[in-house]
Amino acid sequence: MLYLIGLGLAYPEDITVRGLNAVKKCSRVYLEHYTSILMNSTQEELETFYEKKVTLADREMVESGCEEIMADADKLDVAFLVVGDVFGATTHTDLVLRCKQRNIPVEVIHNASIMNAAGACGLQLYNFGQTISMVFFTDSWKPDSWYDKVLENRKIGLHTLVLLDIKVKEPNLESMARGRIVYEPPRYMSIAQCCKQLLEVEETRSLEAYTPNTPCVAISRLGSNKQKFKSGTIKELSEYDSGEPLHSLVILGRQVHELELEYLLEFTDNKESFIKNVKADQEYFKPAPWVPPNQDDDC
């Protein structure tokens, strides 16, 4: 059996009892180590807690056939651990499909992830639209396909969860060109950098999916003892020091409930200014009032 097990957000103890019992009976344990990190846990701490050796599975191992992970999984119990929930990344769906093609039994054990824990900022999960990912821009690569999703969400009044890029065990391109593999130090996108890239793309696309004054809430280190929220506009948060990773951002939609607003006010420095920006934003993309069609006098 191949067990795909969600670990939750921060601590070794965040794993479910069912997940822990599965890990303890597995012959091999892999920890997916490139879509996210377990903030308050080291590999050594996990090994002590599980009483098992844990092998880090980088992008190359997971996406290049998964041969090592699936080896003998039809005869032995193998665990594949994922920070957050198992299906927080499409890569893991691919792993399940590969196992099915080889008749390897798979059992999924779910856990909390940013996709549901984001509600801790006070915004109702029912009011979220499509989630987007913001990657690190380079001088020659500034992808903006996510912009259309934000525009769609905003037009129908829904919040947008923005997942910020992380780079773990990324090869240095110059070294690769010389035939050597040298890995870059880990990098984690900050709230400020994300907001600056949002503003840069809006300036280029100019469809006004959002403005510098669009209200947002920054989410930092969610699920840890250092979690923090910060409400402000995109412009204000582009100058915000969000501290240690991990970070996410929510771009508010037009339909902000009064209870949501009351909660968000706890995280802003200037409540009056934030209320003003939210009210102004509620007029943004507001549907025109319905007008009955013209009818001929003879009808």
Annotated binding site for S-adenosyl-L-methionine: 9, 85, 88, 113-114, 164, 222, 247
C-beta separation of 102 from 70 below 8 A: yes
Q: What DSSP string describes 207-275?
A: S-SS-TT-EEEEEESTTSTT-EEEEEEHHHHTT----SSPEEEEE--S---HHHHHHHGGG-S-HHHHH
Could you tell me which residues are annotated as the binding site?
A: 9, 85, 88, 113-114, 164, 222, 247
Phi, psi of 261 (to 5 degrees): -65, -45
CA distance 70 to 80: 10
Q: Is residue 160 a contact partner of residue 131, using CB atoms and an 8 Å limit?
A: yes
Q: Which helix (H) or strand (E) holds 94?
A: helix 90-101
How many beta carbons lie within 10 A of that of residue 284, not counting itself? 17
DSSP 169-197: SPBPHHHHHTT---BPPPEE--HHHHHHH
Cβ neighbours for 190, distance < 8 A, ≥ 6 positions apart: 164, 241, 242, 245, 247
- Which uninterrupted H or E stretch holds 167? strand 166-167
